[in-house]
Structure 1
């Protein structure tokens, strides 16, 4: 079964109450006006290799020490 995204959205909208349909419409309008922000990756390639390897090693170690731990009380 190959349903297009538009058809799937329409199918979902048909089952929603009208106030939710309005919310979906407003959200779609906002998304349509949204502009992509940021810098394309191609433009960032000129920075490749610009961080000294010693600094990269320090960053790697800091990440491993700080990110590989689970705090079960965090949530």
Structure 2
């Protein structure tokens, strides 16, 4: 656990009104109870190379345009 992050959170909480502090507390509690979900990368390797090069070029262009 990073002490620097905890200190920064505490400093932010000090300047918030109590209702916002309650929201942060509730959010932190919910995060603490959530389970990390996802698929390991090794399970996705079977999809490697399945997209046609033309589709990849279109996707790359769209990403670069929006950024």
Question: Does TM, scored on the shorter chain, surpass 0.5?
Answer: yes
Which protein has greater RCO, CA pairs closer than 8 Å, 6+ apart? 2
Q: Where in structure 2 are the equivalents of 1:4-43 lying within 5 Å?
A: 4-43=4-43
1: CA distance between counterparts of 2:5 and 2:38? 27
The TM-score with structure 1 as length reference comes to 0.63
- Unaligned 5+ segments in structure 2 are none
Q: What is the RMSD of the two structures over their aligned residues, measured on CA atoms?
A: 2.5
Residues matched between the structures, number: 63
The TM-score with structure 2 as length reference comes to 0.68
Deviations 1:7-63 (A, max 9, x none): 110111111111110000001011111111110112222x15452xxx512423543
2: CA distance between counterparts of 1:25 and 1:60? 43
**Which has a greater percent of helix?**
2
